[in-house]
Chain A
Amino acid sequence: MNIMKQLLFSFLSTIGFAVLFSIPKDSISKSGITGALGWIVFYIASNYFHSKIVGSFFAATTVGILGELLARRYKKPATIYIIPGIIPLVPGAGAYYTMLALIENDFILAAKQGTETLFIAAAISMGITISTFLSKSIKRVKYGD
């Protein structure tokens, strides 16, 4: 039940961000599905491995690969699908809790939250990097560029 709720909310949330970034009208639902699947992977993986960093990595990789596949299928730039899908994964909450800990002079907690936030950002970057690399090397092998 909880997972259905997460799926629904992340789908609607991604659609909202997609419209905020003026996505083409025929790609709205596709980007929503990309974002929802990315979030579910984040939710399951971060519970399974007890680490938001690992969860973000797998989620960003999922979003990236899905984006590249959709881009290939519908002949549109991959960023159209990747950007709205990545937004829910960006560690806004981590940055907020770091700031909160700094205000309360709890520097140990701030360091813990801050490093986690930084590593989540790094994990997202790595996820995008891997999916971009995969798509490029497949293209290279296929077309012999």
Chain B
Amino acid sequence: MGYEVKSLDYYVSDREEVRKLLLLAALAGRIMLRSGAETYRVEDTVERLCKSRKDIRYADAFATPTGIFISLEYRSEMMAYLIRVKSIRTDLNRINLVNEFSRKFVNSNMSIDKGIEHLRYINQINIYNRWGKSIFGSLACAFFSMLFGGVFVDFISSFMVSLIILTVISGIHRYKTPPFLSNFIGATLAAVLSILSIYLGLGKNIDIIIIGSIMSMVPGVAITNAMRDTMSGDLVSGLSRGMEAIFSALAIAFGVGMVLNIYFKGLIP
């Protein structure tokens, strides 16, 4: 990622140290992948971290959105490690921090224990709390509805609807709901609450309120990463992220469509 390796004169002392280096690289890769980094960046970081100590002659990594494989060679002995990543939650700050950490680790004689400690610390950082994120996300949706030509009352109701959706989604995240299910629940809520806001006289244009409210769930991250992965030759990751984008979009469309269908045609047609 554009950082030059100055001199590679940092050595590892023994086999135990190499094992720890492998663990450190695995931890770094895991944090990045779970925060929604592109797979080529994960592979690159893991490889650089492994090769930063001079005795390691060969190191290679293969990452997909659901797991990482790492192998390295130390004094004619092969070591391998496999990490399974289950849930991805976009956290751009952690990607940035791990990126900075790896640049620092590669270009210095930082001890491996200290590195692992630092990574564990990065893994716990949440720069914005849950409420801050929800409020800013709902403001984003509300301003987006203004972009689509909404009036002030649409801004208010779009904000309220999105705030409820984001709170519910981050609440059910604890139960490890699959992303498609939480998107479906969010979209259903968006449609129900938008209809409700029209009934209560809070909003004016139902289309604009719904469009604004579903913007916090659209698969923009998946589309971006799918294309960037495909471009760097990670076809498996590109395909799986593309499928993720399609299924998320379908879940949202289905959720909204179901509610609107009932609203327009009644439960019993």
Q: Which residues of A contact B (CB under 8 A)?
A: 6, 9-10, 12-25, 27, 39, 72, 75-77, 79-80, 82-83, 86-90, 92-93, 95-100, 102-104, 121, 124-125, 128-129, 132-133, 136, 139
Contacts and interface: CB of A to CB of B under 8 A. Distances in A.
Interface of A is mostly: helix
24 contacts: A9-B147, A12-B139, A12-B140, A13-B143, A16-B136, A16-B139, A19-B133, A21-B91, A22-B90, A22-B126, A22-B127, A76-B96, A77-B1, A83-B92, A83-B220, A88-B215, A95-B249, A96-B207, A97-B207, A128-B223, A128-B227, A128-B231, A129-B230, A132-B228
Contacts of B223: 86, 90, 121, 124-125, 128
Contact of B214 (A89, A96, A124): A96
A92 B221 CA distance: 14
A79 B256 contact: no
Task: Point out which of B91, B140, B214, B216 has the most chain A C-beta atoms below 10 A from its C-beta.
Answer: B140
B93 interface: yes
Contacts of B265: 103
Given A13-B143, A103-B261, A128-B227, A20 B137 contact: yes
Contacts of B227: 125, 128-129, 132
Interface in B179-228: 207, 210-211, 214-216, 218-221, 223-228
Nearest to A76: B96
A107 to B, nearest CB: 14
The range of chain B's interface size is 35 or more
B91 A99 contact: no
Contacts of A12: 139-140, 143
Interface string B143-166: 110111000000000000000001
Given A9-B146, A15-B140, A103-B257, A77 B41 contact: yes
Contacts of A125: 223, 226-227
A41 B225 CA distance: 22
Nearest to B32: A77
Contact of A86 (B93, B96, B144, B224): B224
Contact of A96 (B91, B211, B225): B211
Nearest to B208: A93
Contacts of A133: 231
A72 B137 contact: no
Given A21-B221, A79-B224, A88-B144, A102 B257 contact: yes
Contacts of A128: 223-224, 227-228, 231
B228 A75 contact: no
